[in-house]
Amino acid sequence: MVWTLPKTWINEPLTAADMNLYIRDNFNALRSPPRYVYQGGATLTTTSSSYAFIDITNLNDDISIAVGPGKIEVEFIGTVTCTATSTLYFRLFHNGVAIMSSIVSIEAASRYREVAMRKSLGSLAAGTHTFDVRWYTTAGTASLLGGHYNFAIREVQ
């Protein structure tokens, strides 16, 4: 359910359709804001030396979510490792524009590190917004551990 900007009445009758749209539906939108949550189960790897989509089911392309006007919180959290000393680069995109980056240093092969990106986006227009996460490594084969990563998009009031 998407929030609808309330109408301003000027000398016109209030109808049941107006009450349903502007009151009932907006209360429902406040109780059940749109969200997308994915927790990955498979270990993913990359040897890419330039930004590439994180190949997660439903995440190897843009994720679209229809929202009302207001704030969105986007979060990506995961556990990573690499087969070599490396730097891993992560970037979060909103409508094709990079909105946040994170860098993880792997000081020695097979060390585990956490990556976390959380971004609050305010004053977004109502409609469909797209999000994705991309990553690359400077050396070796980087792994995002299965069962240890999630991607969440939530509308907040």
Compare 73 and 21 and report the one with higher pLDDT: 73
CB of 142 closer than 8 Å to CB of 78: no
pLDDT of residue 61: 53
- Place 36 in a pLDDT band, splitting at 50, 70 and 90: confident
CB of 128 closer than 8 Å to CB of 91: no
How far from chain centre, in Å, is Cα 113?
A: 21
CA separation for the pair 90, 54 (Å, rounded):
9
Domain regions of the chain by residue span:
34-156
Mean pLDDT of 25-49: 76
CATH of region 34-156: 2.60.120.760
Which residues are registered as beta bridge partners of 137?
Answer: 88
Mean pLDDT of the chain: 83
Please choose, from the candidates 30, 36, 6, the residue with its C-alpha nearest in 3D space to the C-alpha of residue 18: 6
Task: Find the largest Cα–Cα distance for the chain.
Answer: 72
pLDDT of residue 41: 80
3-state SS class at 2:
coil
Compare 83 and 38 and report the one with higher pLDDT: 83
- Place 1 in a pLDDT band, splitting at 50, 70 and 90: low
CB of 110 closer than 8 Å to CB of 85: no
pTM: 0.74
pLDDT of residue 31: 65
Write the pLDDT tens digit of every residue in 114-141: 999 999 988 788 778 888 888 889 999 9
Compare 150 and 38 and report the one with higher pLDDT: 150
Residue with tokens 């000398």: 11
